[in-house]
């Protein structure tokens, strides 16, 4: 494994390796070993051509805990805003000797373009490309679900998970459907028909338009953010109607199974897809997802970068 571009590149055993590594790293950083020397001398660039809070900070924290040098590079305030192409940016980074690039870009496929081109030789980690994929988020979600619901199992076999909301614009949903089904879980997508992408019937998931009928049967509910910034069309009549049919409020939460958890990749639109009292309830693992994010991203960096330059990898 040289790059992390898409969940579809991962085998089940590679995914489990990353989750197990994250588990050990979590134990190390919960305990006394906060800072580890593992990636000392490696340079990692956070190339964020689209806004992000938690993913960028999370990757930065992960890299720093492993003693890598981190350079933050956001589109605003760099030559990208002067119109520099991805190619020129990549060649600049190559010339500076960068070991890995973590890229967030509004164009689907930007990370793959960077990895497949000969523009630079380092590892490429996709931190969200357009409406395509967000593999590190899916891995941290799977890690969170496994911790709460797998009872010590390695995979997610037998679990039922609902992903609810704006699937159309969500890279998180796509990566999660692929990963959760790879790990053996049953995934149901719940959304209005207007917010499902073309070709969704070929995804390894079932589809429902009726949130209330799904709720009692699932072990975890993952709410998606309504991505108004990507909405050029009218996808639902108004936000009150959306909330009524697809929002998670305390009434719906009380219909969930006793052990079931509530997840959200953040940032949340409180009051739209999720009610504030649900987001802050004991069932919500939303804050824990952020904590787990750092450990999972440390595991990704470890698996991609700690080994030798000659790729003998786990493929």
Contact 261, 282 (CB under 8 A): no
Which residues are within 8 A (CB) of 176 and not within 5 positions of it... i.e. 6 or more apart? 137, 138, 141, 142, 163, 187, 222
Our CB check for another protein shows the closer of 145 and 303 to be 303
Place of tokens 């956001």: 74
105 flagged as catalytic: no
56 flagged as catalytic: no
Taking the C-alpha atoms of residue 136 and residue 295, their distance in angstroms, rounded to an integer, is 11
Looking at 36-44, 176-184, 206-214, 220-228, which segment touches another protein (CB under 8 A)?
36-44
Asked if 152 interacts with another protein (CB under 8 A), we say: no
55 flagged as catalytic: yes
Which residues are within 8 A (CB) of 98 and not within 5 positions of it... i.e. 6 or more apart? 43, 44, 45, 71, 120, 122
54 flagged as catalytic: yes
Kindly tell me which residue out of 8, 13, 35, 97 binds another protein, with binding defined by CB under 8 A. Answer: 35
In the complex, minimum distance from the CB of residue 189 to another protein, in angstroms, rounded to a whole number = 34
Looking at 18-26, 142-150, 181-189, 246-254, which segment touches another protein (CB under 8 A)?
18-26
Considering CB under 8 A, how many residues would be counted as binding another protein? 25
Residues 60-79 that bind another protein (CB under 8 A): 66
Give the chain's radius of gyration (CA, Å).
19
Kindly tell me which residue out of 25, 103, 226, 260 binds another protein, with binding defined by CB under 8 A. Answer: 25
Our CB check for another protein shows the closer of 98 and 191 to be 98
Asked if 292 interacts with another protein (CB under 8 A), we say: no
Nearest to 49 by CA among 90, 11, 9, 16: 90
Contact 21, 52 (CB under 8 A): no
Kindly tell me which residue out of 11, 24, 213, 228 binds another protein, with binding defined by CB under 8 A. Answer: 24
Taking the C-alpha atoms of residue 170 and residue 83, their distance in angstroms, rounded to an integer, is 27
Contact 156, 180 (CB under 8 A): yes
Residues lying near another protein in the complex (CB under 8 A): 17, 20-21, 24-25, 27-28, 31-33, 35-38, 66, 302-303, 306-309, 311-314
């Amino acid at each position: 494994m040289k790059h992390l571009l898409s969940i579809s590149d991962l085998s089940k055993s590679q995914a489990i390796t990353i989750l197990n590594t994250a588990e050990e790293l979590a134990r190390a950083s919960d305990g006394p070993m906060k800072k580890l020397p593992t990636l000392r001398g490696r340079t990692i660039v956070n190339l964020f051509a689209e806004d992000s809070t938690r993913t960028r900070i999370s990757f930065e924290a992960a890299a720093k805990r492993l003693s890598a040098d981190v350079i933050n590079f956001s589109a605003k305030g760099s030559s990208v805003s002067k119109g520099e192409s991805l190619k020129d940016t990549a060649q600049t980074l190559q010339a500076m000797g960068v070991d890995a690039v973590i890229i967030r870009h509004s164009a689907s496929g930007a990370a793959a373009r960077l990895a497949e081109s000969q523009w630079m030789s380092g590892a490429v980690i996709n931190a969200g490309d357009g409406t395509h994929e967000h593999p590190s988020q899916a891995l941290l979600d799977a890690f969170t679900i496994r911790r709460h619901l797998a009872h010590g199992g390695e995979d997610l076999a037998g679990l039922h998970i609902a992903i609810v909301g704006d699937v159309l614009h969500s890279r998180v949903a796509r990566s999660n459907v692929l990963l959760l089904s790879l790990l053996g879980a049953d995934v149901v997508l719940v959304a209005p028909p207007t917010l499902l992408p073309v070709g969704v019937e070929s995804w390894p998931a079932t589809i429902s338009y009726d949130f209330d009928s799904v709720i009692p049967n699932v072990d975890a509910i993952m709410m998606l953010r309504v991505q108004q910034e990507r909405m050029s069309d009218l996808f639902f009549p108004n936000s009150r109607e959306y909330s009524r049919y697809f929002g998670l409020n305390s009434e719906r939460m009380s219909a969930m199974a006793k052990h079931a958890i509530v997840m959200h990749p953040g940032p949340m639109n409180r009051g739209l897809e999720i009610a504030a009292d649900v987001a802050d309830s004991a069932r919500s693992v939303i804050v824990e997802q952020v904590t787990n994010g750092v450990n999972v991203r440390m595991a990704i960096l470890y698996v991609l970068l700690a080994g030798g330059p000659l790729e003998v990898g786990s493929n």
